[in-house]
């Protein structure tokens, strides 16, 4: 069974987001071995400089990369990434498995995004939308799209 790891900055703070993540994690059990790994958000002062933001991104990025599954397809979720329809993501997941890379690591940054190092280390930069979403909501959206992708791949009824 393929492994999928979602490595993200910060903890979920809202119970409704945690409940949604738990629901999709439960649904995904039949399709993959899912792990959600949270790395600490770098603490920043209220008044901050670009250098402090860059340092935070570098530290968070290194923590994210350290938790990636070995030999996995690495996907950075970032606004400037490639946009795909749900069917396109399903095809990408299925084609990666056919080519011998069935495990995936998805990276979700904190409120300042992802470091260039994480983006460069990734096989795919993926955008959910040109809109900006809270990074905690992005986790729920990714889990839903992964479940939808596996439903598409298996011919399930969830995707219409």
Query: What domains does the chain contain, in order, with CATH numbers?
Result: 3-154 (3.40.1280.10)
Tell me what pLDDT residue 156 has.
87
Average pLDDT estimate for 99-106: 88
Tell me what pLDDT residue 21 has.
96
CB 149 within 8 A of CB 96: no
Q: What are the tens digits of pLDDT across the range 32-60?
A: 999 999 999 888 777 888 888 899 999 99
Average pLDDT estimate for 15-37: 95
Measured CA to CA, the distance from residue 64 to residue 9 in angstroms comes to 8
Kindly give, in sequence order, each residue whose CB lies less than 8 Å from that of residue 19, ignoring residues fewer than 6 positions away: none
Mean pLDDT (the chain) is: 92
Tell me what pLDDT residue 160 has.
65
């Amino acid at each position: 069974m393929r492994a999928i790891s979602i490595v993200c900055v910060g903890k979920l703070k809202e119970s409704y987001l945690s409940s949604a993540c738990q629901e999709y994690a439960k649904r995904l059990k039949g399709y993959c071995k899912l792990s959600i790994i949270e790395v600490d958000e770098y603490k920043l002062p209220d008044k901050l400089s670009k250098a402090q933001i860059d340092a935070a991104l570098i530290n968070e990025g290194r923590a994210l990369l350290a938790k990636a599954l070995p030999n996995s397809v690495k996907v950075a979720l970032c606004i400037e990434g490639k946009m795909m329809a749900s069917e396109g993501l399903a095809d990408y997941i299925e084609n990666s498995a056919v080519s011998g890379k069935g495990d995936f690591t998805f990276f979700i940054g904190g409120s300042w995004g992802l470091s260039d190092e994480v983006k460069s280390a990734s096989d795919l930069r993926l955008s959910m939308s040109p809109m900006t979403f809270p990074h905690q909501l992005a986790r729920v959206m990714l889990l839903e799209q992964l479940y939808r992708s596996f439903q598409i791949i298996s011919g399930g009824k969830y995707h219409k």
